[in-house]
């Protein structure tokens, strides 16, 4: 998730572009750059690091001209560095891009075979070269962009300028957002509304497949074949702060509702639905290595540890491989034994958590092969690992992790499927079922989130006054119970415990009375009957039971005080759905209590202390 901006008009472009990027920094902040046409040629300034580094560079090397494009980056291909920062240039063509090009490996190889010299590790530079090749065949800029895009699969919001034309920006969109802004004799372009708000409130949202030629006085919209397209103009009356949160009250709520999009980005290019398999070329593990592992140890902290627990169930079930999960801090606190041919999978949103980083180094020093499942590209943990399988959730700003958790689940499930297929434990038919199941998760998430928009607020009002809340789950739902309890604790400051349903009668059941709401995760899976018995045991002791169950489950509805219904999917994929009501419940309880939802007390987004 990066941010792009564009300006063509009568004013100096650079200050407007920098201002737009500042308002889009929430979309990414590991490097930034501008390209401005000075009347003769396009000049580019890029810097690694936050936007202020670019601003400093622009003081030394000012860019002048009334047309330009800009970018703030959140790395997806290639580590954060100046050479990987946008804009990317090929001959007269300069490009900024937000999105992920799925077939980048194939395109890169083709260009290398043609003798093209690539400067960066990014997928975006490939687009610049494709456009340049088409220009040199005699096409105009918009024709060249269309022809280049015919070769590209994946998600993009692109803005392209040519040194031969100081009056036009060509932009195109597929899957990544793009907004046009209409001024008086000037036009604006941005990934999102906040970038444009100080300049205009008249905006047009582009749709997938749209290509636009932006000039100072007009925007000409076509489709990818060049046919005319019309999109409505809208008046936006949001305040700048509302706009940054896309109209949501808190980043956490925005990030909860962003999960279908985050999942799509994470799954993009990794599900081969035709072959019914998972693509993990980027991870760098061979099929032979996959067959040779003797055991898997998953290491993580907090929410990432809960995701790792789900990963353990997936790896054991799908790959028939012994798997164990460790808290990174505890792994360091004992004399952990690394067996021969052990794979250590490290899970971390930030890639910088100190305990997880030190545990990574320890496992590596003891001879393990280390794979990092991390959201922040180029962070410390992947740098100390043998390979990385990145989640593509985009920057997560709310301290309580939501969208990063679900994308971690997706990567762990994909990795489990990949391992299972390579090790022979997983049939082609079941692999295909799981691949299809994963492909449908984003739309199931959207439906479920939409259906809970008002009901979870009501539920939070009904149960949110409790002093203690219990969350119960069994099998793959046990880590989700732990995650539900952690979310509630950290943002609403209510005491909450997650328990394996089967453990209740060994002690914690004594806590239950009429005051204690008990969430029971009881979707139809292999543990359904036993989980239902546990639900009834809680009910029989006076608990107020909130069931998270499969749609149409009258047996559960008959014995519960409240029910959240989740749509059917493969039981292993259900955690991706059952976690959603728990995230929303915590959010609404915290919001009613008036806590600082995005920055809860005593917590930090990245924990770099022991």
Per CB under 6 A, residues contacting ligand F6R are: 301-304, 348-350, 353, 356, 400-401, 490, 606-607
Is 245 a residue of the active site? no
Burial per residue of 185-200, b for 16 or more beta-carbon CB atoms within 10 angstroms, e otherwise: ebbbbbbbbbbbbebb
SS3 604: coil
What separation in angstroms does the CA of 333 have from each of 299, 304, 399, 562, 610?
Answer: 13, 19, 26, 42, 11
Q: Give min distance, CB of 490 to ligand F6R, in A.
A: 6
Q: Give min distance, CB of 381 to ligand F6R, in A.
A: 8
- Token readout for 492 is 């609403």
User: Which of 361, 364, 593, 605 is an active site residue?
Assistant: 605
Nearer CB in complex with ligand F6R: 358/561:
358
Cα–Cα dist 387/345, whole Å: 10
Q: Give min distance, CB of 297 to ligand F6R, in A.
A: 16
Nearer CB in complex with ligand F6R: 177/382:
382
Q: Give min distance, CB of 60 to ligand F6R, in A.
A: 35
Nearer CB in complex with ligand F6R: 271/486:
486
Q: What are phi and psi of 118, to 5 degrees?
A: -95, 135
Task: Give first-to-last CA distance, the chain, whole Å.
Answer: 30
What separation in angstroms does the CA of 452 have from each of 285, 400, 460, 565, 583?
Answer: 40, 20, 12, 10, 11
Nearer CB in complex with ligand F6R: 26/199:
26
- Token readout for 103 is 């077939």
CB burial of residue 39 (10 Å; 0-12, 13-18, 19+): exposed
Cα–Cα dist 138/151, whole Å: 18
The residue at minimum Cβ distance from ligand F6R is 302
Q: Tokens 């009910």, residue?
A: 539
Q: What are phi and psi of 80, to 5 degrees?
A: -70, 120
Q: Give min distance, CB of 407 to ligand F6R, in A.
A: 11
User: Which of 2, 173, 403, 487 is an active site residue?
Assistant: 2
Burial per residue of 283-303, b for 16 or more beta-carbon CB atoms within 10 angstroms, e otherwise: bebeeebbeebebbbbbbbbb
Nearer CB in complex with ligand F6R: 216/607:
607
Nearer CB in complex with ligand F6R: 148/376:
376
Nearer CB in complex with ligand F6R: 211/373:
373
Is 50 a residue of the active site? no
Q: Give min distance, CB of 410 to ligand F6R, in A.
A: 15
Query: What angle separates helix 428-452 from helix 403-423, to the nearest 10 degrees?
Result: 170
DSSP H or E segment with residue 277: strand 277-278
Cα–Cα dist 354/363, whole Å: 14
Q: Give min distance, CB of 348 to ligand F6R, in A.
A: 3
Q: Give min distance, CB of 353 to ligand F6R, in A.
A: 3
Alpha-carbon torsion 577, 579, 585, 589, what sign? negative
Closest to 161 (Cα-Cα) out of 204, 214, 221: 214
Going by their DSSP bridges, the two strands 277-278 and 271-272 should be labelled as antiparallel
Nearer CB in complex with ligand F6R: 341/606:
606
Q: Which residues are catalytic?
A: 2, 605
């Amino acid at each position: 998730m990066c941010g792009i901006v564009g300006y063509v008009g009568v004013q100096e472009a650079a200050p407007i572009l920098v201002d737009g990027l500042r308002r889009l920094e929430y979309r990414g902040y590991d490097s930034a750059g501008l390209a401005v046409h000075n009347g003769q040629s396009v000049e580019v300034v890029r810097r690694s690091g936050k936007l202020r580094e670019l601003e400093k560079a622009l003081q030394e090397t000012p860019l002048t001209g009334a047309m330009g494009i800009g970018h703030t980056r959140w790395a997806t291909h290639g580590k954060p560095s100046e050479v990987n920062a946008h804009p990317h240039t090929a001959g007269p063509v300069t490009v900024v891009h937000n999105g992920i090009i799925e077939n980048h490996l194939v395109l890169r190889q083709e260009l290398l075979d043609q003798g093209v010299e690539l400067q960066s590790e990014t997928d975006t530079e490939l687009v610049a070269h494709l456009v340049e090749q088409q220009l040199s065949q005699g096409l105009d800029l918009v024709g060249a962009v269309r022809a280049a895009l015919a070769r590209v699969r994946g998600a993009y919001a692109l803005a392209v300028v040519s040194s031969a034309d100081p009056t036009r920006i060509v932009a195109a969109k597929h899957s990544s957002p793009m907004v046009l802004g209409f001024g008086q004799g000037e036009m604006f372009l941005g990934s999102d509304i906040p970038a444009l708000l100080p300049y205009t409130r008249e905006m047009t949202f582009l749709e997938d497949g749209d290509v636009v030629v932006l000039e100072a006085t007009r925007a000409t919209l076509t489709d990818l074949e060049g046919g005319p397209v019309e999109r409505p103009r809208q008046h936006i009356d949001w305040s700048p702060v509302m706009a940054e949160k896309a109209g949501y009250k808190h980043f956490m709520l925005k990030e909860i509702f962003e999960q279908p999009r985050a999942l799509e980005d994470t799954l993009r290019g990794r599900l081969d639905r035709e072959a019914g398999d998972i693509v993990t070329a980027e991870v760098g593990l061979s099929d032979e290595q996959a067959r040779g592992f003797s055991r898997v140890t998953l290491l993580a902290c907090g929410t990432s540890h809960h995701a790792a627990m789900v990963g353990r169930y997936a790896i054991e079930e799908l790959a028939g491989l012994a798997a164990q999960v460790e808290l990174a801090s505890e792994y360091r606190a004992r004399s952990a034994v690394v067996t021969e041919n052990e794979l250590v999978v490290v899970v971390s949103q930030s890639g910088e958590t100190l305990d997880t980083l030190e545990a990574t180094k320890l496992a590596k020093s003891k001879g393990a092969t280390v794979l990092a499942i991390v959201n922040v590209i180029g962070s410390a943990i992947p740098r100390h690992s043998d390979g990385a399988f990145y989640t593509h959730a985009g920057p997560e700003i709310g301290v309580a992790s939501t969208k990063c958790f679900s994308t971690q689940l997706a990567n762990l499930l994909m990795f489990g499927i990949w391992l299972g297929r390579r090790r022979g434990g997983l049939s082609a038919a079941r692999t295909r079922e799981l691949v299809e199941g994963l492909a449908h998760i984003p739309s199931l998430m959207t439906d479920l989130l939409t259906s809970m928009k008002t009901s979870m607020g009501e539920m939070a009002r009904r149960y949110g006054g409790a002093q203690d809340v219990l969350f119960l789950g069994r099998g793959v739902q046990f880590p989700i119970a732990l995650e539900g309890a952690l979310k509630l604790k950290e943002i609403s400051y209510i005491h909450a415990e997650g328990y394996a349903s089967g453990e209740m009668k060994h002690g914690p059941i004594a806590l239950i009375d009429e005051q204690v709401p008990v969430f029971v995760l009881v979707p139809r899976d292999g543990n359904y009957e036993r989980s239902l018995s546990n639900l009834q045991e809680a009910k029989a002791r006076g608990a107020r039971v909130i069931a998270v169950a499969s749609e149409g489950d009258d047996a559960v509805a008959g014995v519960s005080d409240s029910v959240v219904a989740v749509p059917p999917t493969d039981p292993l994929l259900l955690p991706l759905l059952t976690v959603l009501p728990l995230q929303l419940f915590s959010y609404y309880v915290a919001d009613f209590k008036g806590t600082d939802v995005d920055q809860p007390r005593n917590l930090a987004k990245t924990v770099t202390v022991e």
